[in-house]
Amino acid sequence: MLAGGTYSLTMTNAERWSAYERRERDARFIIAVRTTKIYCRPSCPARRPKPENVTLYDTVAEAREAGFRACKRCKPDDELEPRAGLVADLCRFMEANRERRITLEELSEFAGLSPFHLQRTFRAELGVSPREYLAALRRRESAPGDVVTYGFFESALGPGLIAETRQGVCAVSFSADRGELLTWLREQMPYATLGEGVVDNAVRGLLEYIETGSSDLPLDVRGTVFQQKVWNALRSIPPGETRTYEQLASASGRPDATRAAGTACGSNRIAVLIPCHRALRKDGGLGGYRWGLDIKRELLKRELKA
């Protein structure tokens, strides 16, 4: 069992499954799904699998050794600080329930905080209130009339998927698993009509960006006002240069929102073209990267040589 967890090794599998059904945020065990080969936190908002397809583990190491890979929604490998972990779980809860009305009281109960402390904690982490985040989430998503064309590519950074609307590129992600990429795209744009098609110009622009650090591809960028400001600040960084999360927060008009700037980088769904790989910690460390630190290192190395 993970150190410091609320639940001990004496929990029965039935008790663990019950905690999983309730999406207990403090539950410290791992759910691994044999049909998808993915392991999750108990608080993951993804659709619940059938019990017969599930294996329970005490640690992520055990799940990895058994051949499972980490869920990209709940990110069970991440060591999050308590506040960051709480807000991340709140965001995923809202993402999973965005089609219905979610009250502040419901969020407060989920988080175990008063409405006042919930709002203050959420704003400190993301720069917006829960209500503003949910509204932006709905605006950011595709509308029922949106048409998204996607295609797969091979690059120096590995295989991936790129998708575009009439406005421009709306998503880029890296993975060798095409099924995983399509699942991710559907989660990102649940109301759009998705179709595989010709995206040659988008692919050429992406490959150009990987090689040179720049491209004139139009983007379809959707997010909160603060997220948009952080992403614009990232796009203004010249190739070969980096900025700290503190500098991004200041450039976005919120010098006190360093953590929120980092979270905005993690929410970026257009890899490379919105260059969140150029964001570093204050001490020069790489920090996190949604598509893996190996890709982040390679991008920075290429841009320094360009």
Q: How far apart are CA 270 and CA 235, in angstroms?
A: 12
Task: For residue 255, give every residue at least 6 positions away whose Cβ sits within 8 Å of its Cβ, in sequence order, or none.
Answer: 246, 249
Q: Which of 90-94, 143-147, 201-205, 266-270 has the lowest mean pLDDT?
A: 143-147
**Which DSSP string do the residues of 80-140 spell out, in sequence order?**
--HHHHHHHHHHHHHHHTTTS---HHHHHHHHTS-HHHHHHHHHHHHSS-HHHHHHHHHHH
Helix (H) or strand (E) holding 206: helix 200-212
Tally of helices (H runs) and strands (E runs) in the chain = 12, 10
Of 66, 67, 68, 9, the C-alpha closest to 41 is: 68
Task: For residue 177, give every residue at least 6 positions away whose Cβ sits within 8 Å of its Cβ, in sequence order, or none.
Answer: none
Q: Between residues 89 and 264, which one has the greater pLDDT? A: 264
Q: How far apart are CA 118 and CA 95, in angstroms?
A: 17
Task: For residue 299, give every residue at least 6 positions away whose Cβ sits within 8 Å of its Cβ, in sequence order, or none.
Answer: 157, 210, 272, 275, 277
pTM: 0.61
Q: Is the pLDDT of residue 39 over 50?
A: yes
**Residue 198 — very low, low, confident or very high, per pLDDT cuts 50/70/90?**
very high
pLDDT of 3 reads: 28
pLDDT of 245 reads: 93
Mean pLDDT of all residues belonging to the chain: 84
Q: Return the active site residues.
A: 40, 276
Domains by residue range for the chain, with CATH: 13-70 (3.40.10.10), 82-140 (1.10.10.60), 147-212 (3.30.160.70), 225-305 (1.10.10.10)
Q: Is the pLDDT of residue 187 over 70?
A: yes
Pairing status of strand 38-40 against strand 69-70: parallel
Distances from the Cα of 290 to the Cαs of 80, 122, 166, 185, 264, in angstroms?
14, 21, 26, 14, 11
Q: How far apart are CA 143 and CA 166, in angstroms?
A: 13
Burial profile 268-302: b = 16 or more Cβ within 10 angstroms, e = fewer:
bbbbbbbbbbbbbeeeeeebbbbbeeebbebbbeb
